Structures are given as C-alpha cells and as structure tokens.
Amino acid sequence: MTATDEALAEVVAAFAAGTGPVAVDAERASGYRYGQRAYLVQLRREGAGSVLVDPVGCPDLSALGEAIGDAEWVLHAATQDLPCLRDIGMVPTRLFDTELAGRLAGFARVGLGAMVENVLGFALEKGHSAVDWSTRPLPEPWLRYAALDVELLVDLRDALEEELTQQGKLEWARQEFAAIAAAPPPPPRKDPWRRTSGMHKVRRRRQMAVVRELWTARDQVAQRRDVSPGKVLGDAAIVEAALSLPPNSHALAGLPGFGHRMGRRQLEQWQAAVDRARALPESELPQPGQPLNGPPPPRAWADKDPAAAARLSAARAAVTALAENLNLPQENLITPDTVRRLCWEPPAEPTRETVAEVLSGHGARPWQIEQVAPILTEALLTDAG
C-alpha cells in the first residue's frame, strides 16, 4: 500500500504514463468514524497496473489527480465517492459511472457485484464491504478485496458502453456523466438535526428544541472523538429524551438508550443539553417543519389545488408508462421533484417550448427534456381541456 511521499511520486509517474480510462474507487469508514473522509483509494490503469493509496499517510493526492486529470475516470456510484476524493485533491473532468450506466440500460440490480456477474460473468468477493477502513495496518485480505473493486471496472465500462450504444442511450449517459462531473459540491444541510430518525413523533416545539440541543451536543462529541455520531448516542435515544423532557439525569437514566452502561458524567452532559432546551424562551424554539422550498406535499394537493392534483396524477401516469417503455427507472427519466414543481406551477401557456424551459430551469438534461416534454405538456393540458 502506498503510504509515503516517495512511493506516491512513483505512482503519480506510472499513472501519468499509463493509457486509457482510470478505474477509481474509495473506501470510507461510515458507521465507525466522524465524517466521510477516504481511508483508502484504489486505482487501476492500462500500463500502470493497480495501486492502493493510503490517504492517512498521503493526505494530499492533488498531484495524482492532476496526473490523471485529462483521462476518463471510471467509478461505480460516483456521487458517493466524489466528495471524499475532492477533499484529498482528486477531481475528475470526465467520468463514466458504471452504476448509473446500469440504471439507464435497464438492469434490475446495479450493485458492483451484481453488475460484474451479470455483464462480465465474474463473481466478486463481497466479504469486507462493511469493515472499518480506518483500521491500521489494514489486513491483507481486506486489501485484496479492495483491489478487486477496480480490477474489472474498465472492462465493465466497455461492456456497458456497448450495451448503451445498442439501446440508443449512450448520448443520454454522456449527458448524465457530464452533469455529475460539473456539479458543484452540495451546500451544507440546513438544520441537519431535523433528519434525526424518528423525528416524525416529535410534535411540540419544546421537544424539537431538545432534539436540536442533543443532536448538536452529540455532533461535537463525535467530532472531537472522531467516531460516528450513532456510536456516541442513538437517534432513538434522542427522540425518547425529547418526548419525555426528563427533569434530571436520574430520570434520563431510566429512558431507553441512556441505560446502565452510561457513566454519570455522560448522563450529566446529555441532561445539560435537555436543560438548555427546557430553559429556552418561546421565541427561540424551532419552528415546526422546515420552510417549504417548492410545492407542498402531494397528499395536500387535492384540498389546496384540485386542478394541480389532477395535473400531477396525469403527469405521474405518463412518466411511469414512458419509463417502462424505455426500460429505465422513472427517477432517472425525470426526477419526481421536477415533475411536482412543474405541475404545481405550470407555465401560463403550456407548450413543448415553455415546458422544456421550465424543465431546463430545474436542471433536467437535454435528453430528458426531449423524452418527457411532449408527455408532460399533454398532462398539463388534461385539466385545461
């Protein structure tokens, strides 16, 4: 495993001299460590062979990123790996996503193992996918497993390109890949505490404040200790404390998730967060629900705007039928959010041109617009007619 600057310089030279696409994969330690950093990067290129790089020993891989900057990078489920690769200086200008290619080609199972088996006829060993990749030294069997992930990626890419060409979908895939490569990093989530699992049970604003305080306290502890937040305190425990509003740490200790194995200091730390929420003035309590950016939930449409509900029903049926006809998932044909926004606020004069303009404004690709603009225009006119 490449873990020193000298060894990395050799890898950079070898990959710069290699030819053709570069297979790239990264392993994170989700569920074990705080954040989504890469703990292993695997690469393979014709003429350079396969290499495993340790981003702990070599935290800046920008020289490697530049060495393969002009090449097409082949990744499986690219959007999962690109953020952690970007953090260590590796950003592709062109890519081929084998998972997304599989979706567009109509494969029912698009995990890497299933794709390699269905398309190339090889069985990938899948024993170590959920291990703690921050472990050092990494055991030999794990490293062998990780190397296999890039071994066949370029072969898979070539086979999928052929399949997409036969189906007349290669240009669609190219537009999708270009959109992924050009996408800016997502902005930080607003109010991430609202995504706590079980949040739907929390109705009162004071209880929401408890979730917010406990979530924030847990996040700070997790970051300081570099462990996954779920290992510090479970979401279910946070929700229990919010619903119960315990008056002291003794009452808190009786709740599920705060049980016998938790030390007094820990209990006091969580109780302090609960107390902060209990003491907040009414004006500083969180508002229920996030301010809606876009249309209300579709279940409310029938009451609020029956005409919009009718448009949405017609549009969904049309998209479902077309996606089946084209043999690809509906969400890859057009995102459900885009369909909702169009149906809630349609153009004043729904024509293919005005509908295409709205779709483009919501980030739809040219191939998607070409496919869905006609059927969505028709769906918008069902109510008008």
pLDDT digits (tens, 9 = 90+) for 299-338: 999 999 999 999 999 999 999 999 999 999 999 999 999 9
User: In the CATH scheme, what is the code of domain 5-182?
Assistant: 3.30.420.10
Element (H, E) at 250: helix 249-253
Cβ atoms of residues 373 and 352 within 8 Å: yes
| Backbone phi, psi, residue 247, to 5° | -75, -20
Residue 383: pLDDT band with limits 50, 70, 90: low
Residues 172-177: what's their mean pLDDT? Answer: 98
Q: What is the mean pLDDT of residues 108-123?
A: 95
Mean pLDDT, the chain, rounded, equals 95
Domain ranges of the chain: 5-182, 192-279, 298-381
Helices (H), 88-136: 98-104, 112-115
Q: What is the pTM of this model?
A: 0.92
Asked whether this chain's domains 192-279 and 298-381 adopt the same fold, the reply is: yes
Q: What is the pLDDT of residues 240-253, one digit of tens each?
A: 999 999 999 999 99
Q: Does domain 298-381 have CATH number 3.30.70.100?
A: no
What is the rounded CA–CA span in Å between residue 23 and residue 67? 14
The sign of the torsion formed by the CA atoms of 201, 205, 209, 212 equals: positive
CATH number for the domain whose boundaries are 192-279: 1.10.150.80
